């Protein structure tokens, strides 16, 4: 999608601090980190949010995103202490970029409930 920020990061048109990429998934450090480790995991394919990842293909894509997030968290050394995965969805969810993404947040204790 030409005017989508994360599509442009996935294609390399806009630079980012990429920590992982493969045929389906790109992961890069958040520009405004909310924890010592804050990485965004996105599908290369433009999908607005998790609610749009429907059907067998959508399920497979969400599975790939979560598996990639877990593998990246391992690479970042977060397994022992743990981490949080978040996918903000829509206005009430606090989504600000409308291309599906999973936040990996780690390196400090997380609070609950979230704000």
Give catalytic residue positions.
Answer: 101
Q: For residue 46, state whether it binds Zn ion (rule: CB under 5 A).
A: yes
Under DSSP, is residue 25 helix (H, G, I), strand (E, B) or coil? strand
Count of residues of this chain found to bind Zn ion when the rule CB under 5 A is applied: 6
Q: For residue 97, state whether it binds ligand 5GP (rule: CB under 6 A).
A: yes
Q: How far apart are the C-alpha atoms of 8 and 90, rounded to whole Å?
A: 21
**Which one of 30-38, 60-68, 73-81, 106-114 is the stretch in contact with ligand 5GP (CB under 6 A)?**
30-38
Closer Cβ to ligand 5GP, 56 or 96, answer by number: 96
Structure tokens at 52: 């749009």
Closer Cβ to Zn ion, 37 or 99, answer by number: 99
| Cβ(6)–Cβ(42) below 8 Å | yes
Closer Cβ to Zn ion, 61 or 73, answer by number: 61
Q: For residue 63, state whether it binds ligand 5GP (rule: CB under 6 A).
A: no
Sequence-distant (6+) residues with CB within 8 A of 80 are: none
Element (H, E) at 40: strand 37-43
The DSSP symbol for 3 reads T
Judged by the rule CB under 6 A, the positions of this chain that interact with ligand 5GP are 5, 16, 28, 30-32, 40, 88, 94-97
């Amino acid at each position: 999608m030409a005017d989508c920020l994360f599509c442009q990061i996935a294609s390399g048109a806009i630079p980012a601090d990429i920590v992982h990429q493969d045929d389906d998934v790109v992961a890069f450090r958040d520009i405004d980190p909310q924890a010592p480790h804050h990485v965004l995991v996105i599908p290369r394919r433009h999908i607005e949010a998790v609610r749009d990842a429907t059907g067998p293909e959508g399920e497979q894509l969400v599975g790939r995103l979560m598996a990639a997030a877990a593998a990246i968290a391992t690479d970042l050394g977060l397994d022992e202490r743990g981490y949080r995965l978040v996918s903000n969805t829509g206005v009430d969810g606090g989504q600000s970029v409308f291309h599906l993404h999973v936040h990996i947040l780690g390196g400090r204790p997380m609070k609950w409930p979230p704000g």
